[in-house]
Amino acid sequence: MQDFLQQTLSGEVPRKRSGETAHLRWQWLYHGILLMEPTVPVKQALVLSAGIHGNETAPVEMVNQLVNPLLRGEKPLQQRMLVILGNPSALRTGKRYVRYDINRLFGGRWQQIDDG
């Protein structure tokens, strides 16, 4: 995988779902979710999350600028990293949200949604 954001925006399942560089192993878990682990044992882990609102692209672009050099093997990874682009559908449309404003569903409020 060369570009995590472009892969996410494509909406397609990548042909190659996992891979390895000299510094890390990566695994595409789902649209907008990428796991990267160093090839050496580490104790620390990091979760990077952005993209809850599809019209707020600066944080998503920043995450992509951090992730892509790692995927290309240009930089070593020092800890396990889970990268989550939280609302790929909204990112694809460039709108704040598609059906629900995810940011308003925390604290159990997601249970009050009528899925119909």
pTM above 0.85, yes or no: yes
CATH number, position 15:
3.40.630.10
Between CA 50 and CA 57, with CA 54 as vertex, the angle to 5 degrees is 60
In this prediction, residue 112 carries a pLDDT of 82
Counted domains in the chain? 1
- Give Cα separations from 106 to 95, 100, 101, 109, 115 (angstroms): 20, 12, 10, 6, 16
| Residue 85 burial (10 A CB sphere; 0-12, 13-18, 19+) | buried
Report the run of H or E that residue 79 belongs to, with start and end. none
**Domain coverage including residue 67:** 4-112
Q: Which residues pair with 84 in a beta bridge?
A: 33, 49
Q: Would you give per-residue pLDDT tens digits along the chain (116 residues)?
A: 889 999 999 999 999 999 999 999 999 999 999 999 999 999 999 999 999 999 999 999 999 999 999 999 999 999 999 999 999 999 999 998 888 787 777 888 878 887 65
